[in-house]
Chain A
């Protein structure tokens, strides 16, 4: 019995020291990780709201939907567009997309935040050709009406990635569905 107590005490000490060390490391790295996430989000947002590079982006919430409003200038009277995240079930993963639209509902830019699609097929949705800034596939979304887009196979205008119709369709439909909901909500609001 005494032996068990001794062992329990030793194990507890070891785990306490370990947790203490981890708490220390965590407190050192947590601000850095948070900053990384913020930076990624900010970069994504200014990327999809391409005309607000020097403006302000604000986080908004409406009936549980989180979205961001972008303003063209430092003053917040001139609304230039909205950004929101959407997700769709792709071929082998959930694809998260950040979408920017202008006030009329036309797409200003798209950023694929997270995907684990098949390399060489679906994953090409994030492929950037050398010398270019943005992935070539998502470029075709620019200036299209977010509510009505669909892939060619479904009678729309978005060209699918060769051999990856499911991925292409998932992204396209995710954008159109989410923008329909959000714009509806915004209209109701005023």
Chain B
């Protein structure tokens, strides 16, 4: 039960994107299509999982003063592993995510979780935390990508969903579309939260 709570927290109450406002750069940049969004999400889950495990394993031996450079080295190692593997096995995805693969290193979610959670908790709860946060990130990313791809390109995951005479709204694929989508989505979630509170009391 406790574990379930730990997992769910990353998806809803502490969603890294919609609630904590962390890791925004890749969210906006790679949400042009659902395909990219899922690829990016999986890459982040992998890095978050591995770094949380290692950081949690060595948490008792790391001197507090130099913990940040050690965490950064660990994260950068896993990011490079993802980078190289993706270039070898999924070249298309690697090309379209481009710059944002190495930039996972500076994604605040990963260093943030290492510092705030994995450095203080057991391996097992760190794994749950990583999975929860990673899933929350992927869901947020996919949600934004869904709006952008359907409205901007008329497709979802490459499958045409809108009828052919629908003229795609180019703007949604371009940068302003990303800002509008995330702004409106956060606004909507705020409104939902507010509405729920009124009904509960």
Contacts and interface: CB of A to CB of B under 8 A. Distances in A.
Contacts of A118: 170, 174
Contacts of B66: 7, 10-11
Nearest to A7: B66
B91 A120 contact: no
Interface residues of B, number: 25
Interface in A27-56: 29-30, 32-33, 36, 40
B32 A33 contact: no
Given A15-B73, A29-B88, A120-B152, A7 B63 contact: yes
B100 to A, nearest CB: 13
Interface stretch (B15-23, B39-47, B77-85): B77-85
Nearest to A16: B73
A120 B155 CA distance: 13
Q: Which size bracket describes the interface of A in this complex?
A: 20 to 34
A32 B65 contact: no
Contact of A36 (B81, B91, B152): B91
Contact of B77 (A22, A30, A36): A22
A10 B76 CA distance: 17
A22 B174 CA distance: 36
Contacts of A11: 66, 69-70, 73
Interface in B86-109: 87-89, 91, 95
Given A25-B81, A30-B84, A119-B32, 19 more contacts: A7-B66, A14-B73, A18-B73, A18-B76, A18-B77, A21-B77, A22-B80, A25-B80, A25-B85, A29-B84, A29-B85, A29-B88, A32-B88, A33-B84, A33-B88, A36-B91, A119-B152, A119-B173, A120-B168
